[in-house]
Structure 1
Amino acid sequence: MGVTRIIALTLGWEDLPRAASVHGASRTERVREPVPGLLLEHDDGWLLIDTGFNTALLRDPALRRRFYPSPNYQPELPGPGEPIEETFAAAGIDLRDVTRVALSHLHVDHAGGLKHFAGRVPVHAQRAELDYGLSNHPEPERYAMARVDYDDPRIDWRLADGDTEIVPGVTALLTAGHTPGHQSFLVHLDGGGGYVFACDAADLTENIAHERAIGSFRGVTAEQTVAPIRRLKGIGARYGYPVVPGHDPIAWPALTAELAARFRS
């Protein structure tokens, strides 16, 4: 058994230096990267992977200055409302049909939409990620984590200590480096085929194709971020699945169109 349908969501955009995604790249060359989310249909509803921005932190001027202080990083919302609500509506999915959420990590562009699901469904993450996010503040906040996004007693955390199956057909893969408990996802489709979603273990296609170290990491060296990329490539080769980068401005729209065509009802 596996996933029966996948919908790729674009929950925003971020304008930033290429060096933020590729170690040693130009700090003056800029890229506009998509903020991704994934809806995976399984036998008990929909699993949502990553939740985009917390709109309040972007729309309130004082909060934006606090949580996005660097002019080098410019986040963008995709529309006037809540990105989760708008993208779900466009896909014809009701938020109440989401039965689980999984986070690749706690950065503001991935955990900000948890407010829609706190107290409603289980939320899967790595224990090392939450431990880091709740400790030694303000260090995590300086590293783009907003405690207001995830320090909520209503959240029903389901914490893993390494690779773990979330639902049949979806396995979270510990790929620490970008953050202490970052995880990627192996997805098997019902009937054959699948994908390896690298998330921020590899932002861009060049991180994967050329095994380029990522530009943002904690607790490891730049060179050590290549090992998770190689691991994901090995898993992809074993199953014959593509490895999908997390923020590639060309690959993500192409995948969105590919999945829409493949699962068109």
Structure 2
Amino acid sequence: MSQSAVKRLYLMQVGIMPEYQIPVVCYLVQTDDGKNILIDSGLPEVLPEGETEFENGQDVIEQLASIGVQAGDIDTVVSTHYDGDHAGRHAAFTQAQYVVQRAHHTEAPNNPRFEFVRPQWDQPMERIRLVDGDTELLPGLELIETSGHAPGHQSVLLRLPKTGAILLTIDAVPFGEGFTRDEQDNAGNPDAEATRASTIKLLDLVEREHVGLVIFGHDPEQWATLKKVPEFYE
């Protein structure tokens, strides 16, 4: 088995949903050959007037700089989906290729949900790589199609040299309590069936790939226990 190209994983909290102190997060993956891959970019630098659902914290640009990474050093932005707390700083990474599921990018321009950060994610097509379904981006980094929270949402499976397999569920499973085969109350979810199918898909993946760490997208209790920048997983 060839050695994984993925070397490190950094976790960054860039804001909160203040009502429940829910973290807004993004991730940096570094490879053996010096590549920097950002997974999501967090909240916009300036939130819309009257915004109460989110509060900005330390910006992703500042957190990257704290470990010696500048915006121009980011080679790839893995865009899990275009919600404002995940794609809010995409345009800052002017040297990066953006990787997104085709189903998501195709649907987004017609969905008002993604409109307020459209200047961030609506990049020239020569800089966007559209993928279809589960895709190995590079050795040790796989994109897992997990529609439900949004059409063409994607999660990320990493394989690190020491830690082993780590699954970033992103918003497919935002909280650990939802990572179960039991029926969930998805009354407020417009695509509950797809959400459940993606949850089962990730549970099967964890069993099949012997994933040792599952990091949920917005779980405050779990987040308090994890390593954050400048610490990292390797």
TM-score by length of 2: 0.87
* Superposed counterparts of 1:111-190, under 5 Å: 111-118=87-94, 120-135=95-110, 140-142=111-113, 146-153=117-124, 156-190=127-161
Report what 1:64 is aligned to: 49
1:228 aligns with 2:198: yes
Distance verdict in 2 for CA 1:143–1:134, change over 3 Å = closer
Preserved contact between residue 168 and residue 216 of structure 2 (Cα < 8 Å): yes
Report what 1:256 is aligned to: 227
Find 2:30's aligned residue among 33, 41, 50: 41
TM-score by length of 1: 0.77
1:239 aligns with 2:209: yes
- The residue type equivalent to 2:53 in the other structure is Q
Preserved contact between residue 14 and residue 75 of structure 1 (Cα < 8 Å): yes
1:75 aligns with 2:54: yes
Q: Which has the higher helix share?
A: 1
3-state DSSP class of the match of 2:124? coil
Preserved contact between residue 182 and residue 201 of structure 1 (Cα < 8 Å): yes
Report what 1:103 is aligned to: 79
How many angstroms apart in 2 are the aligned matches of 1:215 and 1:199? Answer: 20
- Structure 1 stretches of 4+ with a deviation exceeding 6 A read none
Report what 2:45 is aligned to: 55
How many residues are matched? 228
Preserved contact between residue 203 and residue 214 of structure 1 (Cα < 8 Å): no
| Deviation (angstroms), 1:213 | 5.5
Identity of aligned residues (%): 29
Report what 1:23 is aligned to: none
Distance verdict in 2 for CA 1:113–1:178, change over 3 Å = same
Report what 1:13 is aligned to: 16
Distance verdict in 2 for CA 1:99–1:215, change over 3 Å = farther
- The residue type equivalent to 2:221 in the other structure is I
Q: Which runs of 5+ in 1 are unaligned?
A: 16-29
Report what 2:169 is aligned to: 198
* Superposed counterparts of 1:200-215, under 5 Å: 200-209=171-180, 211=182, 212=184
Preserved contact between residue 185 and residue 196 of structure 1 (Cα < 8 Å): yes
Once the two structures are overlaid, the 10-residue window that deviates more, 126-135 or 92-101, is 92-101
CA deviations on 1:103-133 (whole Å, 9 max, x unpaired) are 1100000011111114x11110001111111
| Deviation (angstroms), 1:91 | 2.9
Q: Which runs of 5+ in 2 are unaligned?
A: none
Preserved contact between residue 126 and residue 182 of structure 1 (Cα < 8 Å): yes
Distance verdict in 2 for CA 1:226–1:50, change over 3 Å = same
- The residue type equivalent to 1:41 in the other structure is Q
3-state DSSP class of the match of 1:74? coil
- The residue type equivalent to 1:204 in the other structure is F
Report what 1:22 is aligned to: none
| Deviation (angstroms), 1:229 | 1.0
How many angstroms apart in 1 are the aligned matches of 2:232 and 2:72? Answer: 25
Distance verdict in 2 for CA 1:145–1:133, change over 3 Å = farther
| Deviation (angstroms), 1:102 | 0.2
Preserved contact between residue 172 and residue 198 of structure 2 (Cα < 8 Å): yes
| Deviation (angstroms), 1:255 | 2.0
- The residue type equivalent to 2:70 in the other structure is D
